[in-house]
Structures are given as structure tokens and as C-alpha cells.
Amino acid sequence: MKLHEMLQKRSAIAVQMRQLNEQAKEQKRAFSEEENKRWGDMQKEHDDLDALIQREELLRSQDERYAQDDQTERSAPQSTEEQKRAEAFSAYLRQGFAELSPEMKEQLRAMGVATGAAGGFTVPTEFVNRVAESMRAFGGLANVCQVLNTSNGNPIPWATTDGTGEEGEMIAENEEASKGDPSFGQIAIGAKKMTSKIILVSNELLTDSAIDIDGFVARRIGQRLGRGEARQIMTGDGQGNNIKGLVNQITKSKQASLATAVAYEDLIQLKHSVDPAYRTGPNVRFMFNDNVFKGFKLMKDSQGRPLWLPAIAGVAPATIDGDQYVIDQALADPAAGKASTLYGDFYSVILRRVAAMALRRLTERYAEFDQMGFLAFHRFDVLLEDKGAVGKLIHA
């Protein structure tokens, strides 16, 4: 089956599932036994198609990226500074600094940080974009919050508040208005450092011109930094070198009724723990990991109807109890003392990233193994700007 046929079929199944749900909702009844079987069959077919589509789209995106890279190499002006720096950086990855031409060394010196060749180089834009693309797959929270890219890691003072208790007042003619000073806190968004750990590449791979070594190293860096950043910005404890993650900044919480699962009633309690003013924005979501999501797909609401509804391309997003959701694997499974589910307006979350990324090539350290080591550094921090915007579900 071709991709467009699979997309059409998945969309048709999603429409049928929503129609079945709406029919039961209009009649104010639970699914019959036959309808439950139909729903289960359609959900399995929908999930199978979804997996096939994701695999096909991944292959296509890789083909398109390689084609674009090839086209760029053929058509891009060779005289641009960015192009020259990208070529110098690629040569540096393969050969090391000492083997480069004087012109390429000069290009790299222009990108140098710390102690120049010994200290590493800030990577060119194209390489950073490849790393960012790989990181995107691991960052559920990072894909829906505000991302602030800065040129350096200097602390930024930032005001925090909870405006849910503030409101105006009625006054008479010529009556003086009373003061209502907002209660602001202030915290500095820093930029703590994470490394990719050392990535070892054999010299055979480095010297093979058919291998896209830039893409290989970028993907490895993106995977490691993506997973690490996602876990830190979600559950970091703020101790030592760790940042203070979102879960540990949220002050609104509801206790789950079950120790090792999330009940439908828990979702309702969590949702209504957040002020209605925060429940209408475009970035309002439930957030949980894939294990919790699997439970929701099998769950029914108080009327016996499915809690999860599939997306219809271009018409309606997938929802849980009418709200969109985000999968973030950094959130914990339901367990004692853990926060498994978040809800709120994630536009109030600020993810600060230092745009410049440094990479070092460890030439001599693994020479006896005929391998080359690469090490990348990434700096970031996270802040919940409005304490009233997001709530969490805690298990007893």
C-alpha cells in the first residue's frame, strides 16, 4: 500500500471511530458489546497503520534530507563564508586540525572557543540544525514550551508570579482606586552544561568518503543530548550539576486515587486544579509517558465511552477527554511519590538554550584502538514562569 493510500485509510478509520463515539454520546449511553468490539478492531487497525506510516515517513524524510544535501552541495555558492566553514568543519571531523589546509584552519579559528584547536570549535549552523532535528524526537516538553535561544550562558533575571488570585474592583465616582501590587518572585535562568559523553568512531569510518560523517556524529550527539535534556528539564532535582526540572517547580498538585495507575477521575481532578483562564490557550495539553498513554487508550469515561479519540488529518487532533496531549518519556510511570501526568498551558514554561554548541575531537586519547573520540557540550535551563498555569498528578 502506498503512503497516500495508508494516510487516507487511517483518516477514514479515525472518522468512523469519532462517528461511533458521537453517536453514543448523543444518545447518552455506553457502547454496546458489538460497538466495543468494532471500536477495538478499528483501534488496532488504526495503530497498525500509524506504525507503518511513521516508518514510511521516516524513510522518506531521510531520502529528502540526503537529496537536499546533495542539491545544496551542487547549487550553493562556494564562496559563502558559511559554506566554507561547513566544509572546514567536515574536514576537521575526518582529518583533525593538523591535516587541514591553511585556509581551512583559518575558517576553524574563526569558530574557535576556549583554547582554539585544543579547546574545540563552535559548530556551524547546518551541523547544529542536524543535532536539533535529532533532539526534537526526544523532547515532548521542548516541542510545546517557549524556547529562548541566547548567544551566551550569562544568567538572565526572570520574574515569576501566580496571577490566579488577582482581580479588579468596582469603585464609585471620584473614589480612589486601591493598590493591588502583583506578587512577583525573581529567579535567574542559568545555563548548566551537559556533555554528549565521548562518541567513538573508527578511523576506517572516518576515511570512508561514502559515509556522511557529519550526519552520523550529529545524530549521535542529538540522541544523547536530546534524551539527557528531556530528562533534566522534566525531572531534574536542582542539586549539584542538575537543573531544577519542571516537575519540581510546579506547585499545584492533585493526589491520584491509585498508587500505580491513573484513573479517569484523576484526570478530571487534575484538569480542574488549573484555573479555567489557563485552559483555553493553544498550548494547553495533558502530558504523560507512553505507558500511561497506553492505559488511556483502553480507558472509558463515566458514560462508558472511549477517553481517547484519534486524530483526523487537517480536521481534528487526537485528544484525551477533549484535550490534546504530548508524550514525554521523561515523566515517570505511576508509582509512590512520583508525578506521572501534567496538565496546563505549557507556553508558561521557558526553555533557555545557549545557541553556540562546542565540539571537541579527541585525537590521541583512543589512538591505540584506532578510534577517534568526539565530545559535544550543550548548555540549557528551564523555568515555569507562571505557577498557576500547570498542575501535576502525584501518586501516594
> What does the domain layout of the chain look like in residue ranges?
123-161+184-289+328-396
Give the lowest-confidence range in 61-75, 93-107, 154-168: 61-75
Lowest mean pLDDT among 137-141, 342-346, 380-384: 137-141
- For the cut 60, the answer to whether the pLDDT of residue 120 exceeds it is no
Task: Band the pLDDT of 115: cuts 50, 70, 90.
Answer: very low
* pLDDT (average), residues 131-145: 83
Residue 325, amino acid = Y
pLDDT (average), residues 146-170: 80
C-alpha span between 149 and 258 (Å, rounded): 40
Strand partners, 341: 393
| Higher pLDDT pick, 177 / 201 | 201
Q: What's the confidence (pLDDT) of residue 384?
A: 95
> How large is the average pLDDT for residues 184-195?
85
Q: What is the pTM of this model?
A: 0.72
**Position 259 pLDDT exceeds 80:** yes
Cα–Cα distances (Å) from 223 to 6, 216, 357, in that order, read: 29, 11, 15
Q: Say what the pLDDT of residue 114 is.
A: 39
pLDDT over threshold 80, residue 137: no
pLDDT tens profile 30-49: 888 898 899 989 998 998 89
CATH class (in words) of the domain with range 123-161+184-289+328-396: alpha beta
pLDDT 10s digits, 318-369: 898 889 999 999 999 999 999 999 999 999 999 999 987 888 888 788 888 8
Q: How far, in Å, CA of 151 to CA of 135, rounded?
A: 19
Longest dimension (CA), the chain: 87
Higher pLDDT, 253 or 2: 253
Question: Taking the CA atoms of the chain, what radius of gyration do you get in angstroms?
Answer: 25
User: In the beta sheet, which residues pair with residue 253?
Assistant: 392
The pLDDT value given to residue 298: 86
Residue 89: pLDDT band with limits 50, 70, 90:
confident
State the average pLDDT over residues 164-178.
Answer: 75
d(CA 154, CA 383): 15
**pLDDT (average), residues 81-100:** 73
Q: What confidence score (pLDDT) does residue 74 get?
A: 52
Instruction: Give yes or no for residue 80 having a pLDDT over 80.
Output: no
Decide if pLDDT at 79 tops 50. no
Span 264-309, pLDDT tens digits:
999 999 999 999 999 988 899 999 999 999 999 888 887 888 888 8
Q: What is the pLDDT of residue 175?
A: 80
Query: What percentage of the chain exceeds 70 in pLDDT?
Result: 86
pLDDT of residue 107: 67
- Indicate whether 380 pLDDT > 70: yes
pLDDT at 116: 40
pLDDT score of 29 more than 90: no
- 153 pLDDT higher than 90: no
